[in-house]
Structure 1
């Protein structure tokens, strides 16, 4: 395992296509932040420090005047709990990093960089700088997109049904492509996650409970399935 400038640049280059998905999502957050009364500087600061689209959207939905900071912070924390298992899944690189390389990689790690990092590692990438580079350009693009959305919202009033507001959902669906390994490995946990989230939504459970319930259901089934396969491989090797 290494961490080089070349790896960082490969990550930066690989993240360029992600900007096409990040930009509309960031525009939406910028437009909503304007509607909630945040200034341009506050919007950029929020995007730079939080750097998590789902939690920012939820925080803005809960935003009031004056804002209930504790409620907003708890909601953002709950949504971002999903990053804990993501970080654990990136242990093949993170376990070997120290100092700014570790904390910088953790700070910049989001759903998109996680998905592409896992796919790259499966493909033979061994440079942990790849993860850092992925997140770095995504962070810059995210802050720029939310700023642009804030400026756009001040100039043009977009209706709630505008296609731009579907960008967030489309982006998260698109990153599944990089993680696809085949129907046997991925379809059961993905269906479990989707079914649990839809059921929780149908029960009118408050946000972000459906999101978290789906994530943990899918992760639990995937862990159980992978554990059984690992034990089966071990048994076959012992018999051999």
Structure 2
């Protein structure tokens, strides 16, 4: 049963893994032009394993490397996985802490979405999630390595708009997270603080400062009463 769930997770995630590999190849090309060695990129893939966060890290990849800024930026970007992890709590209810920690690293947007669909059919299991996560990880590593290997062939990534990947990733992510007019104020505050911070602070701290400011505003806003969203 465990093996079947694992294989089912791989099969269910295979179609979306093709797009993950293509997406990863763009990161690989950009990494090659930043001078990131393939071993460092592979280590980043395994340790971080979050596409949007890795694009953030690559955008900040300038000597001397701003380790503190990178770590905080990755933390802020990946905070959405707190909600994803919470939604999977019933799946891990009988699992040990060690198994939860090992499996949680393989939760991606893709493996989570596929597992939640299977959950509605009553087919989701921890091996199902792990199988899907490993499938995505394999595709991601393969894509980034191919991009890194052939990155030198692309003389000018800007000509192919590959340098726009960072902006495109976050535009798509922002659209998917938009819940309605109630999000307008936190987003406006995050944007304004980011712009001001970019002028006042060195490096890429504006990413972290803007994100934290927007999150604080969202946290302090009063919750809307049930049914109040009907006019949105």
Cα distance change on mapping 1:93 and 1:49 into 2, 3 Å = same
1:106-145 equivalent positions in 2, closer than 5 A: 106-145=104-143
CA deviation vs aligned residue, 1:130-164 (integer Å, no higher than 9, x gap):
11111011111111111111112122234326366
Shift in Å, 1:211? 6.4
**Maintained 8 Å contact 1:26/1:145:** yes
Contact 1:196 1:213 in 2 (8 A): no
Paired residues of 2:28 and 2:148 also in contact (CA < 8 A): yes
* TM-score after normalising by structure 1: 0.72
Query: In the alignment, which residue of structure 1 is the partner of 2:207?
Result: 207
Structure 2 counterparts to residues 65-104 of structure 1, below 5 A: 65-98=63-96, 101-104=99-102
Quote the RMSD (CA, aligned, Å).
3.4
The answer on whether the counterparts of 2:52 and 2:170 sit within 8 Å (CA) in structure 1 is: no
TM superposition shift of 1:123: 2.4
Partner Cα distance (1:150, 1:193) in 2: 41
**1:190-229 paired onto structure 2 within 5 Å:** 190-192=179-181, 195=184, 199-200=188-189, 202-203=191-192, 205=194, 206-207=206-207, 228=226
Q: Which residue of 1 aligns with 2:20?
A: 22
Q: Work out which of the residue numbers 6, 9, 18 in structure 2 matches 1:8.
A: 6
Deviation (angstroms), 1:127: 2.2
What 5-or-longer segments of structure 1 have no aligned partner?
A: 177-185, 230-240
What does residue 49 of structure 1 align with?
A: 47
Per-residue CA deviations over 1:56-111 (Å, capped at 9, x if unaligned) read: 11111112212121221121122112211211111121222225532222010011
TM score, norm. by length of structure 2: 0.74
The DSSP-based 3-state class of the residue aligned with 1:91 is coil
Cα displacement (A) at 1:26:
0.8
In the alignment, is the contact (CA less than 8 A) between 2:193 and 2:209 conserved in 1?
Answer: no
- Matched residue pairs, number? 212
Contact 2:2 2:127 survives alignment (8 Å): yes
1:76 partner SS: helix
